[in-house]
Chains A and B, each alone.
Chain A
Amino acid sequence: MLIRQRSAHHVTENEVTPQEMYLNRRSFIAGAVAAGLLPASPAFAAKDAAEKKRLEAVPWPGSTDEIQTPYEQATSYNNYYEFGTDKRDPAKNAGSLITEPWSVNITGAVAKPGRYWVEDLISPQTLEERIYRLRCVEAWSMVIPWVGFPLSKLMAMVEPTSKAKYVAFKTLYDRSQMPGTRFRVLDWPYREGLRMDEAANPLTLMAVGMYGEELPNQNGAPLRLVVPWKYGFKSIKSIVEIAFVEEQPKTSWNMSAPQEYGFYSNVNPAVSHPRWSQASERRLDGRGFFASLKRIETLPFNGYADDVASMYSGMDLSAFY
């Protein structure tokens, strides 16, 4: 039996802003700013970003029933270095990201290349709600209800050719919208990649929302990848380019420190990171003080081994970390 748990942030129909008012919010706000009623401040931009459209989604049967990370934590504790390196920076700064209009350039070994409006990639899909564990390489983890569709559905739309062996993704790189890119913390733009079979795996998700709403900017709006059996940095945010390629693509953290971050980066408690033990993790699920002190064991492939381990049979996972 499916028990629907309403989280604290759940809003009922009568609390929701009428859609026409929501759609006109920018002009409404612009008018208020022009009239001097509201300050034209970044804090206000963040507030604007906070009112997100609710999404219709079909519950996915494979969802975990573990305690979910509170919305507040999942949206205020983020690694999105384009908006700053402190965990709180993305929530503070990502208000400047313009997600409408948004297009994704699909290139390479693909039958239907081109620049697609993000709406045109999303609207043909049936959105699913999938509750996945997210395991960061920094040894903390969350449980997040994503809304999205399998990457394989997008691939079916654009038809990669037999030459395609890998998929390479890029995040937007725009200094005017992303204050953190003033510093060369990483070699911008942020890049990630998957092998074709990994990309086609039914677990690999293109997320457009979380907690029943559109993605907040700090979580990678309007379109991000979610690969639940890999460390979080593989799940690239705010995607502007998807290239189907023959060679294994360069990926940002691997370029930054190849001995620390491999191309595969599957969650693996047996392979230590040079700066963190990966054997255990801290689950961030808002259960309070004493629970926050406790560490839990990290599972191979973040507990998704049954669905993904066969893709790596015969590979030495300590060499291909």
Chain B
Amino acid sequence: MVRKATSRTLWKSSVFAVMAMPAALLLWQWALVAQGQPSEMLGANPVQATVLKTGEFAMRALLISLTISPLASLFGKPQLNAYRRMLGLFAFFYASLHGLSHIGLDHFFSAKTLLEDLLKRWPITLGFAAWAALVPLAVTSTSKMIRRIGAKRWKKLHQLVYALAVVAVVHNVLITKGWQVEPLVHAAVLAALLIYRMAGRPRLVKLPRPAKVQQA
């Protein structure tokens, strides 16, 4: 039992390290830029690159977090579901960095720009809405909150993630100039995930008998 727990901790730390890597990389590249050194990742316009990169990371973290439960059902590995919370929180973390870098770094917290973004530039409005919908999910992500709200209601609340993912992908496609490949790949991945859900989560592997399921 002790060995199992250690192995899970190890796995969780590894996933955490991988997901935190983009942020670490970004921080390191900004340290270079601050010292007047060239950064391959941030290029000639570090502010614009930061806004774009954090948006990319947020979109990918969100899609990765949504891929977990279909993978768990598909391959009969419910223990994978233990990673959803961390991945979802990373999506919220990168989405927050994305919004902050746009309004803070790019526009110096200009209230006028924020207001115009929300009222006049609706591709940005959609991005903001997707982030705002992540807030209650992040706040209620603790085990304590699940108990307080009740599993049933909690589950219902957290189904919001599918709707906000659609909004986020639409934001991604609309905010990008022309028909670029990456946002369309994100849209395709999300479409596949939603279709899988609507098809009743078909399985490739039969679930093991409940007695054999590892408890968290």
A contact set with B: CB distance below 8 Å: 69, 72-73, 76-77, 81, 85, 87-88, 138, 140, 183-186, 256, 272, 274-277, 282, 284, 288-289, 292-293, 295
Q: Are A284 and B44 in contact (CB under 8 A)?
A: yes
| Chain B contacts for A293, CB-based, 8 A | 47, 105, 108
B contacts with A, residue count (CB < 8 A)? 31
B123 on the A face (CB < 8 A) = yes
Q: Which residue of B lies closest to A186 (CB)?
A: B178
| Chain B contacts for A81, CB-based, 8 A | 178
CA distance A72 to B40 in the complex (A): 12
Q: Are B180 and A185 in contact (CB under 8 A)?
A: yes
Q: C-beta contact mask, B11-47 vs A, less than 8 Å → 1, else 0?
A: 0000000000000000000000111101010011111
Partner of A292 from B47, B113, B123, B124 at Cβ < 8 Å = B47
Binds A, one of B83-91, B114-122, B201-209: B114-122
B100 on the A face (CB < 8 A) = no
Q: C-beta contact mask, B104-141 vs A, less than 8 Å → 1, else 0?
A: 01111000010010001111100000000000000000
**Other A-B pairs, 12, CB within 8 Å; known A185-B178, A275-B123:** A77-B43, A85-B177, A88-B40, A185-B179, A256-B179, A272-B116, A274-B121, A274-B122, A289-B33, A292-B45, A292-B47, A295-B107
Q: C-beta contact mask, B33-74 vs A, less than 8 Å → 1, else 0?
A: 111101010011111110000000000000000000000000
| Chain B contacts for A183, CB-based, 8 A | 179-181
| Chain A contacts for B187, CB-based, 8 A | none
B interface SS class = helix
| Chain B contacts for A140, CB-based, 8 A | 45, 48
| Chain B contacts for A77, CB-based, 8 A | 43-45
Within 8 A of A (CB), among B123-181: 123-124, 174-175, 177-181
| Chain A contacts for B175, CB-based, 8 A | 275
Do A277 and B116 form a contact, CB below 8 Å, given A72-B38, A140-B48, A289-B36? yes
Q: Which residue of B lies closest to A276 (CB)?
A: B121
Nearest-neighbour CB distance to chain B for A68, whole angstroms, equals 13
CA distance A277 to B115 in the complex (A): 11
